[in-house]
Amino acid sequence: MNLLGNQLLQPKYKNVRVIELLINQNSKKMKQLFLPLILLAALVIQSCEGPIGPQGPQGEPGDSFIGETFELEVSFNEANNYGESFDFTTPLFDGDVVLVYMNEESVFIEGRTAWRLVPQTFYFDEGVLVYNYDYTPQDFTIFMDISPIDLSSLDPYWTNNLLFRVVVLPSDLMNARMDFTDYEATMAHFGITEEDFSKK
């Protein structure tokens, strides 16, 4: 039985030895091929230099990331159904955000009239008045929403010649942690100045 066991083990051992010899021979060949490949790669990488090409075209100004900024005067009345629509100069991209600020002449911050993020809500004995807006990629509408006030009875202070500022921001610039209700901080963050607001 011992003889039979040795006879069975012998062929297996020979097979293992043959495999070891083949692996050693192949690894020597791999090592011989590997060194020239590394040298060839080093030469190719080194040869990627050449003369400097011509200067490219001038890029867009650094503040071009702001879609549009403009200021407009709106009067709300029965003829325009207490809302006014405006077209964007260029259509918005998916995810672009529109911020609308309303000038509040009776509130002053550091000597200037305050700008408040719309929607703005005002409460009266007769009901609630809300200035609001909506937008599509092509246009936006600023409107008054009331409940149950008779708009025709409102003092012209609430309906005539109200100033709004509109800022269009690409979605990749939006920061969820930023407080967009703070007009001054928002303008400073995006580098928007008074001169950037064109009249519409």
Span 160-197, pLDDT tens digits:
999 999 999 887 766 667 888 999 888 888 888 888 88
Looking at residue 153, its amino acid is: S
Whether 45 and 66 share a structural domain: no
Whether 41 and 70 share a structural domain: no
Range of the domain at 101: 62-199
In a domain, 175, yes or no: yes
Cβ neighbors of 69 (< 8 A, separation 6 or more) are 165, 166, 167, 168, 192, 196, 197, 198
pTM of the model: 0.64
Whether 167 and 71 share a structural domain: yes
Q: What is the pLDDT, as a whole number, of residue 68? A: 85
In a domain, 55, yes or no: no
Whether 83 and 165 share a structural domain: yes
Q: What is the pLDDT, as a whole number, of residue 82? A: 92
In a domain, 56, yes or no: no
Whether 30 and 76 share a structural domain: no
CB 164 within 8 A of CB 103: yes
Q: In whole angstroms, how far apart are CA 100 and each of 64, 88, 135, 169, 191?
A: 19, 13, 11, 11, 17
Whether 85 and 166 share a structural domain: yes
> Which of 13, 29, 50 delimits the end of a domain?
50
Whether 44 and 107 share a structural domain: no
Q: How much is the mean pLDDT over the chain?
A: 79
> Cα separation of 183 and 2, whole Å?
95
CB 171 within 8 A of CB 97: yes
Q: 87: number of CA atoms within 13 Å, CB side?
A: 3
Whether 174 and 137 share a structural domain: yes
